[in-house]
Amino acid sequence: MILHPKGFRRCVFREASAAILFFGILAQQPALHQTGQAALSQLADRGYNIPSENDPVRVFPALTDGNFSGGHAGGWRPGSIYLRSYPRGNFDSSVYLRHELLHEASHRSCAGRLPLWAEEAAAMYFSGELAHKVATDAPSEQDRELLHAVVRRGANLGHSERETLGRLLMQTGWPESACAVSARLAALLGAPFDASGSSAFLLMSLSSGRILEISGDRKTRYPPGSLLKIPYAAALKQADPVSLGAELVTSNTDKLLGRQDQLDIDRLRLLLSPLKSQGAIDIHSVTAPDVAGFGNSRPNHSSSGEGLASLERTASTPIRAYLGERNADGIFPIEGTLNELALVLRISLLSKPFYFSGLNQNGVSPDSTLAAQSAPDKRLLQQLHALSKTGTVSDTNGNPLLGHLLVVWPAEHPVYLALFRQRGVPGAALLQRAAQQLAQWRQTHPVRYSSAKVRLLTLTPRSSWEAQQDCPALTAFNSRFSLCGQFRIVSSAKSSRSERWVSGILKEQSAGGPVILETDSESYADAVLAAEAQELKGAARAALRAIIVWNGSHGAHRHSDSASLCDTTHCMVFMGNAVPTKPEQQLSVTTDPRLLRYLDRLAGEAKLDWLSFAYGGDERWQRRLDGGELAVRLAEPTVLDVRRERRKDGAVLIHLLYPENEEVLGCEIFRNAFKLPSCPDAIEHLVSENAWIFSGAGAGHGQGMAVERAKALAEAGWSAEDILRDAYGKD
């Protein structure tokens, strides 16, 4: 059937008359009904999807108390409009009805594509409220910047921002077609968080705070959304981990607010301190005011009455803002860079680890924020034994503006923290992209090579573990960790730096016992390379780095009582750093996992649980020991002979012959006992003088990798794998 245009318009009016349902005193205003019918007809002509008889919009009278009636004349949420019957100012209810009908039509037609400011501009222009204004001078630079700042944060426009936007609209106009945006104003005002780029991520060591990988913008500050529930939970004095975990994976703000009486404000202040833009925390408890007679349910949008001031900004921040929600003025009071947010999450997870065990149910629990994501992506989280939490920043219409995703693994003893951020999507939607990166990190950063424990021979009490004023420390159980990951340690140990900087968690198993540093393998490798082979480069450096990381992750047997390495030469020399490291310094070359897997194979074939290395070199040396001194050190009355044996597998042994028996020692043990530079390659007995002459070349163990030889091989074109095979291969 072909309708004549007039017939078509009559159909639209007939449908429009049933598409708006008026209630209360508004039902007795025929002029308001006609305004609504005409507005829907105009919106349909412009291409908007409008309410219909089968899916109407309902218009209710707003009550006269509360902030709604005091500061606004109209409000909207999907399917419902709230109007004051007799608004103050120069406009009657019909102007506000047209304004709110544009919001309804935009909701039905634009699928959240319009930024808040653009939808508000379209509503202001369509309503006719600008027709009663007199054109004035262009807004000042300060007014435009204030409006731009609100737009950048995706906040609702206040009275002053609406005034500025109205003055701009009077100069530029607004396109009539559905969901269109003024190009001039879009260029001037932009979009929420438009400086963040498309996406960003980082991978951090949970123990040391070292950033292992990073991509995208890490300098601009953005609101974290519900990721702020992590430090909030960590600041609770008492909580049942099971129920708390359920509240975190479902991101249940109301239930978490019910724990306010257990909140330690001072601890929350400390946990949030890495957010450099965050000033002094001034928290007060508040619930949303009663709006339009619907309890604590505030309409998604409200339009200001002519000449009425916007809501006052609160002097202190509602506790809801510290759970990731906006302030009363629509602004997020807490923002941070990607690095700062990762440090906040790290220290929160370390301070109360048992509070967060329930985060492994995200994606498993049917009500959790990741429940709707794809099965393969959720399966990867389970394979990693990961803890996960989402955070989403939305506008007041519920459209996602910015999403965050936190993944920490493995849950039993977390070593990695990954943080993802992306514009225009909810945090849960980030899992699809994050899964690809997580699968890659599973290969390039295997958990089994992730960390090392070092027994620090500092000879100093716990009080000497210093954290700086801008990097405070927390203590939990027998562990101490700082917000930036680093500590300054003053040492009186022989051959140690008097002052060293270490990154990681400091532990003391018993009062006065040894200090154990748990750190990431890459920070450990950096420190050992600086002490053992600072000038080594290229393939030789890559080979030695792999050896250090392999030893670090396999060396718990070196001090079996504390499952740690040591920081002296019979392990690997570790003296930390001479100066504190900065985040940009931490992004250095990391160990090639292929070399670690190759060392697994070589060590397995040679049955080695430690890969020795030393300086090597070819400088000749000679040492003389009197027979009496030799006997005393060996606790034997007489030593008849000392012989050297090199076996086919490369091992060097020292045979000690006594009158009654023979003792066989590994050459490394023998040379350490007598402080020889390396394992001797010749032993001469001066019988007439009752003396022994030991001679050799180079320095070090005399087995494994010689640093000087590795350097020469690299200069000759050998690869790192070739150098490792030369040092530890059986052939």
Nearest by Cα to 199 from 408, 431, 403: 403
3-state secondary structure of 657: strand
C-alpha span between 118 and 100 (Å, rounded): 14
Is residue 187 over pLDDT 80? Answer: yes
Longest CA–CA span in the chain (Å) reads: 130
Is residue 63 over pLDDT 80? Answer: no
Give the amino acid at 569: T
On the CB side of 382, CA atoms within 13 Å amount to 12
Q: What is the DSSP string of 391-424?
A: EEEE-TTS-EEEEEEEEEE-TTS--EEEEEEEET
In the structure, what pLDDT confidence band is assigned to residue 28 with cuts at 50, 70 and 90? confident
Is residue 287 over pLDDT 50? Answer: no
Whether a cis peptide bond, with omega within 30° of 0, leads into 410 is yes
Phi, psi torsion values for 310, nearest 5 degrees: -75, 170
**The token pair that represents 244 in the structure block:** 């708390």
Q: Return the pLDDT at 730.
A: 67
Question: Tokens 């109007």, residue?
Answer: 83
Superfamily of chain region 199-278+334-445 = DD-peptidase/beta-lactamase superfamily (3.40.710.10)
For residue 526, how far is the Cα from the chain centroid?
23
With beta carbons less than 8 A apart as the criterion, state whether 640 and 658 touch: yes
Domain extents in the chain: 5-114+116-189, 199-278+334-445, 449-606, 613-703
Q: Of 290-294, 304-308, 691-695, where does mean pLDDT reach its minimum?
A: 290-294
Q: Return the pLDDT at 518.
A: 94
Q: Return the pLDDT at 695.
A: 84
pLDDT 10s digits, 631-687: 887 877 888 888 888 776 556 788 888 888 888 887 767 777 777 877 787 888 888
pLDDT 10s digits, 343-363: 999 999 999 999 999 999 999
Question: Tokens 């849950």, residue?
Answer: 411
Q: Return the pLDDT at 549.
A: 96
pLDDT 10s digits, 538-557: 999 999 999 999 999 988 87
Q: Return the pLDDT at 291.
A: 30
C-alpha span between 611 and 18 (Å, rounded): 83
Give the amino acid at 15: E
With beta carbons less than 8 A apart as the criterion, state whether 153 and 331 touch: yes
C-alpha span between 649 and 567 (Å, rounded): 29
In the structure, what pLDDT confidence band is assigned to residue 41 with cuts at 50, 70 and 90? very high
pLDDT 10s digits, 431-468: 999 999 999 999 999 999 999 999 887 555 555 566 56
Q: Return the pLDDT at 376.
A: 96
